[in-house]
Amino acid sequence: MVAAFRMVSAGFQVAVVAPTTVLAQQHFYSFSARFAEYPVTIEMVSRFRSPAEQREILRRAVAGKVDILIGTHRLFQSDVAFKNLGLVVIDEEQRFGVRHKDLLRRLRTEANVLSMSATPIPRTLYLAMAGARDLSTIMTAPLARLPVKTAICGEGDAAWVAAVNSELARGGQAFYLHNRVASIESCADKLRGRFPHARIETAHGRMDEDALEKVMARFLSGKVDVLVCTTIIESGLDVTNANTIVIERADRFGLAELYQLRGRVGRGRQQAYACLMLPRGELMSLDGRKRIAAIRRYTHLGAGFQLALRDLEIRGSGNLLGEEQSGYVRAIGFDLYCRLLSSEIKKLQGGNPEFLPEVELALDFAANAWETSPAQIAAALPPDYIESPRLRVEAYRKLARAASEQELSDFRAELADRYGRLPGAAQNLLKLHLVRVLAARKGYVSVSTGDGYVWFRTATGVPFKLGGKVPEMGEGLTPERMLGRVIELARML
């Protein structure tokens, strides 16, 4: 809303796109209330408006008489145009396909695009992580907000029935998600028999727009106790009095869908509950089990980003130049793929690559190389220095991304600050990486030792040697001092 206000103040128009009619209507109410004291014209196009009303609104938008236009997929149609579009806001971007978003951007190529999502699709998240898009995260939850307690239960369990009864007893409301329009009425009848004192109604996308609007208005005003619905409620619906949701056949939903559905409850200060119902006697797919395990694990506030990352691991990042939104990058590994793409993006932007080319090290510290006693050199981050395996892997990744002496110096200072003085093995590891950095900066692909020399080889295979059988590299020189001598020679390149 702040971005929209600044755009309108500068004389531009704003388009706000939402995936469902209900969410577009809610945005229209919110924008109208927030901008009530300012001379801003706000309109909405969706199936809640008649064709004649929509034509009039679009005519005024072309003439520049509408400052903020809110709509659903209706904004993708060819008759929609703007006089001076400056900002496109795509809410719940995971609900839109790549083709839809590309069509929207063609409305005006100079317009700024702001995509919002609690769980971005893997393709979009990966583009942001790789640097192709800017990424901003909001990790602070509203005051007094409590995480939603998530339980897994069978269709015949009494746990979800008790959860709904408890919700109704404290004066709250509940969602019951049955994602089959053909049988939703019979499902509602069964629930009326199970909860005879509850006011139960249905809502789905095939309802007449007037009937759907009236049902949602009654639910928002508290005149409906249990809303039996489809995934039409998934996107952004904000009902602070609804604090329990029951989801049938949770194994049939994607990870982002489950997170979005769970987010429909717990919008106020009451403890909220989500019951994920799984069928008894049926085997779930491997990916299905991974999704259920992830949704049970990530229950803390602000977990959407971690869930989106997990979805990215499960589904893959997709085709960055095509329309496919999922796919696998197994050949080289996801982390290396991210680094490669990020490096190429920085090259295209005129900057330095994120990481240096690989340099092979073959430093032999045995007698036949340096004419001294055979010796091994320890180069690692020992477990007794960084005890946590996760933190140790994280440290190795940071070291791999260090592409200059300054970055290595910063990394050394960080290690010393977090874990104390570096042991000899850790110091040797950083020195070996420094050799790689110095060689890569000069275009060498390998560094090796032999016959008392340090050999630097280019990609063309031409070797270049430094050093020699001089006293510094003779008898009595320890492997650690030899490594220091290699660094000195590498700096002479």
Instruction: Give the pairing of strands 463-467 and 453-458.
Output: antiparallel
Ramachandran angles phi, psi of 417, nearest 5°:
-70, -35
Q: How confident is the model at residue 4, as a pLDDT?
A: 95
Q: How confident is the model at residue 11, as a pLDDT?
A: 93
Contact 478, 431 (CB under 8 A): no
Q: How confident is the model at residue 187, as a pLDDT?
A: 93
Fold adopted by 2-116:
Rossmann fold (3.40.50)
Give the tokens for residue 32.
């109208």
- Using 50, 70 and 90 to split pLDDT, how confident is the model at 316? low
Checking if the pLDDT of 326 tops 70, the result is no
Cβ-proximal residues to 116 (8 Å cutoff; 6+ apart), any chain: 89, 90, 91, 92, 93
- Using 50, 70 and 90 to split pLDDT, how confident is the model at 74? confident
As a whole number, the mean pLDDT across the chain is: 80
Q: Which residue in the block uniquely carries the two structure tokens 């194994």? A: 251
Kindly report the CATH class assigned to 149-301.
alpha beta
- Using 50, 70 and 90 to split pLDDT, how confident is the model at 135? confident
What whole-number distance in Å separates Cα of residue 434 and Cα of residue 430?
Answer: 6
Bridge partners, residue 15, by sequence: 69, 88
Bridge partners, residue 13, by sequence: 85
Rounded mean pLDDT of 36-53? 90
- Using 50, 70 and 90 to split pLDDT, how confident is the model at 368? very low
Torsion of CA 138, 269, 264, 41, to 10 degrees: -70
Rounded mean pLDDT of 28-40? 93
Contact 404, 437 (CB under 8 A): yes
Q: How confident is the model at residue 371, as a pLDDT?
A: 44
Rounded mean pLDDT of 59-64? 93
Of residues 160 and 473, the one with the higher pLDDT is: 160
Instruction: Give Cα 313 to chain centroid, integer Å.
Output: 11
Rounded mean pLDDT of 138-149? 78
pLDDT digits 0-9 by tens, 275-310:
998 887 676 777 777 778 777 776 666 666 666 666
- Return the domain boundaries, the chain: 2-116, 149-301, 360-491
For 114, other C-beta atoms within 10 Å of its C-beta total: 16
Rounded mean pLDDT of 218-239? 85
Give the tokens for residue 483.
């490594």
Checking if the pLDDT of 7 tops 80, the result is yes
480 CB-contact burial (10 Å; exposed 0-12 / middle 13-18 / buried 19+):
middle
What whole-number distance in Å separates Cα of residue 125 and Cα of residue 488?
Answer: 43
Checking if the pLDDT of 255 tops 70, the result is yes
pLDDT digits 0-9 by tens, 75-119:
888 888 889 999 999 888 777 776 776 666 565 567 888 888 877
Give the tokens for residue 255.
């990870």
Torsion of CA 173, 179, 182, 186, to 10 degrees: -40
Rounded mean pLDDT of 215-236? 86
Fold adopted by 360-491:
Aspartate Aminotransferase, domain 1 (3.90.1150)
Q: Which range is least confidently modeled, 130-139, 183-192, 317-326, 424-433? A: 317-326
Instruction: Give the pairing of strands 242-247 and 360-362.
Output: unpaired
Name the nearest CA neighbour of 437 among 477, 481, 397, 406. 406
Q: Which range is least confidently modeled, 30-44, 313-327, 427-441? A: 313-327
Same fold, 2-116 and 149-301: yes
Name the nearest CA neighbour of 14 among 61, 52, 77, 60. 61
Rounded mean pLDDT of 15-38? 90
Sheet containing strand 42-45, strands side by side = 42-45, 68-71, 13-17, 85-91, 112-116
